[in-house]
Amino acid sequence: MTVETPEDDDQLSLDLDLPARGIALVKMEGRVFLRIAGSVDHAGLHVPYALVPAQGVLAKPSKWRKLDAEARAALIRERSNERALRELHGAAAGFVRELAGECDEYGLAPMDFLHTLADLQTSEPATVVFDRIRQRLGHAVERQREERHAERTRQSINLAEYPASFEVARRLPRKFIALLGPTNSGKTHKAMEALAKAASGVYLAPLRLLALENYERLLEVTQHGKPLAVSLVTGEERRLAEGATHVASTVEMLDTRTPVDVAVIDEIQMLADRDRGAAWTAAVCGAPARTVYLVGAPEARRAVEALAERLECQLEVHVLKRKGPLAMEPGPVRKVKNLRPGDALIAFSRRDVLMWRDMVAEMGHSVATVYGNLSPEVRRAQAQRFRDGEADIVVGTDAIAMGLNMPIQRIVMTSTIKFNGYEEEEIPAALARQIAGRAGRYGIHEEGLVAGYDADSHEVMRSLLKEKPVPLNTTGFAVAPTLEHLHRIAAVTGETSLAKLLKRFIHNIDVPDGFFYPRITEDQMERATWLDTLPLSVADKFTLSLVPVSTKVVALQNAWEHWCVALSKQRTTRLQEGTSLYYMTLQEVEDTCRMYSAYAWLGYRLPDYFPDIELAQELSRRASERVDSMLQDQNTAARRRHRRR
């Protein structure tokens, strides 16, 4: 806000004829300065201005007050001479021409920006004012470009047309058969029987472990007196059989171009998964099979019905019941000594699993250990020990809830609180049911039992198992960006930043009715931002953003960054056999195993730069064997401590 000058300054202004020359003496913002008014006429524009010249600031108020009238007058004459006025007018005219030209280039109205030249209430010199207006114009141009690119992106990708992008599936007369039921209802067995009888087919698993188990299951099948020719295809492994008619695959590795008779999509309720749901959306829309079995929990029914209707596919729904009863124990277990053979003790972190494993082993029990950081091979070997009776009790995370068929009689929950990736929270009822459902393997135990280790976890489990399942949403099915999507956006916007392309996919593509909805993971966006600092193609950045390694493990993150930098320099990354596993901790060997698996994943996609796929798989196998051996040694050591007591 302008502060009026004292009466003596008003008189001084009149004496120096400042108002007649378009000059105002102003005290504001802790300064005394001159503001000069004028106007510029250019190409039909009349632009008035009131600006502070380069030397227009005279003094701070405290210093100004100390000057007598003669000194003030001399300073004003010096700073407001004709040369200063000509320079200011020339600068204003040049700026008006410059800005008008830029506005004309971008189709903007110059007076939307230039009108402020006469309205500014500031002591800043004209050059600063000009820069601010240039900045405003830059933002307007960027907004205009953003709106134009957003519109072009909307026109280039319409998610309502997503199912049509799967050409083979679209042309086939597909039928969906939903087999829905709780754990131990035989739904997967029924679907696999249909797959084994089909002339050709594919099994789509949520985990590499399940893909491997059902691959081996299919290998045991004979048709017309001959064993089935079966391939295994996961992100990190390929076992390709000549003339294969059947494939066991992880869901992300679905081949959408090769038609088959039967497809089995397991754990269909994963449609609702925050990070991986898009893979199930793609599988339902794109599985190129005449008959598609959708296998999973009953709460997926409405979602499956909505998808079938949208895809105009015939749907047959079968709701299966659990084959044996599941019951809560009367009370909690309370003490480790109350555990018994056939129990599965559930914790929700690797640290807690190993702690409970030691406590149980120190009571004299042999223990099998299962948690997510273990490779599929180790989890499988540990589960086999429990199946064979070599281990009395299994201690694991909720990793046992998906796959790993084990003869568990009783599930014992050490806790019902789990970290969800963002915060600690009570497990959802759906997960509680899935874990509990592992108890009471049909044909081995008459019933399955569930208990909490303490009173709190026992009552929470009792309550969760009584909860009515919440149906999956019937809209908003996740769709992840493909490289084709990103190339299409890049083509209409000229954008080469992976992070910006992903943001455009999330925010700008056309989502007419919200039935399909764009999703990416936070990890991918974080990686994309880092990858944009390297000289890589959009295709290579996209591939690298999807490498299955944990950014939370420093060693794995460092390995990933090393691979990215090497690729950006077009250097081949080779593996060495020299690393000894025998001086590593259990955690280090587990992470080493995961690193080799990630290298193999990259090798299948960029073989020229990551050629040692077979060596990576061999080193991963050795690391898995070492982990399994270390788990067994730790188990044995804990039991020895029990015997020495």
For the segment 579-632, what is each residue's pLDDT rounded down to a tens digit? 788 889 999 999 999 999 999 999 999 999 999 999 999 999 999 999 999 999
Is residue 444 predicted with pLDDT exceeding 80? Answer: no
161-319 and 326-472 agree in CATH topology: yes
Question: How far from each other are the two terminal CA atoms of the chain, in whole angstroms?
Answer: 85
pLDDT score of 578: 66
Nearest-10 Cα torsion for 441, 447, 452, 456? 130
Q: How far is CA 388 from the centre of its chain?
A: 39
Calculate ∠ Cα 528-482-268, nearest 5°. 110
12 pLDDT higher than 60: yes
How many CB atoms are closer than 10 A to CB 62? 9
pLDDT of residue 1: 38
Q: How far apart are CA 109 and CA 223, in angstroms?
A: 76
Superfamily for 326-472? P-loop containing nucleotide triphosphate hydrolases (3.40.50.300)
Higher pLDDT, 113 or 420: 113
- Give the per-residue pLDDT at 4: 41
Under 8 Å between Cβ of 396 and 369:
yes
| Residue 373 CB neighbours (<10 A) | 20
Determine phi and psi for 385, rounding to 5 degrees. Answer: -65, -40
Q: 221 to each of 198, 214, 250, 308, 348, how far by Cα in Å? A: 11, 11, 20, 31, 37
DSSP assigned state of 534: S
CA distance 279 to 249: 12
Gyration radius of the chain over CA positions: 35
Pairwise CA distance, residues 198 & 588, whole Å: 44
Report the pLDDT averaged over residues 182-197. 94
pLDDT at 158 over 60: yes
For the beta carbon of residue 341, count every other beta carbon within 10 angstroms.
Answer: 13
pLDDT at 645: 60
- What residues have CB less than 8 Å from 606, skipping those under 6 apart? 540, 543, 567
pLDDT in tens, 93-135: 999 999 999 999 989 999 999 999 988 788 899 999 999 999 9
Q: Is the pLDDT of residue 441 over 70?
A: yes
Averaged over 377-386, what is the pLDDT? 92
Summarize the confidence of residues 300-314 as an average pLDDT.
Answer: 98
Please state the domain extents for the chain. 6-154, 161-319, 326-472, 480-628
Q: Is the C-alpha dihedral spanning 331, 337, 340, 346 positive or negative?
A: positive
CATH of the domain spanning 161-319: 3.40.50.300
Tens-place pLDDT, residues 532-551: 999 999 999 999 999 999 88
Q: What is the pLDDT of residues 232-291, one digit of tens each?
A: 999 999 999 999 999 999 999 999 999 999 999 999 999 999 999 999 999 999 999 999
Instruction: Quickly list DSSP for 41-84.
Output: EETTEEEEEEEB-TT-EEE-HHHHHHS-HHHHHHHHHHHTSHHH
Q: Is the pLDDT of residue 396 over 60?
A: yes
Identify the CA nearest to 38 among candidates 109, 90, 105, 78.
90
* pLDDT (0 to 100) of residue 183: 87
Task: Tell me which residue of 142, 138, 140, 133 sits closest to 114, measured CA to CA.
Answer: 133
- pLDDT tens-digit profile of 347-357? 999 999 999 99
Q: Is 60 helix (H, G, I), strand (E, B) or coil?
A: coil
Give 489's pLDDT tier (boundaries 50, 70, 90): very high
pLDDT class for 559, splitting at 50, 70, 90? Answer: very high
pLDDT over threshold 90, residue 10: no
The rounded distance, in Å, linking the Cα atoms of 628 and 635 is: 11
Mean pLDDT of the chain: 93
List the one residue out of 230, 323, 308, 218 whose CA is nearest residue 271: 308
Confidence of residue 643 (pLDDT cuts 50, 70, 90): low
Strand-pairing partners, residue 247, are 202, 231
Give me the percent of the chain exceeding a pLDDT of 90.
Answer: 83
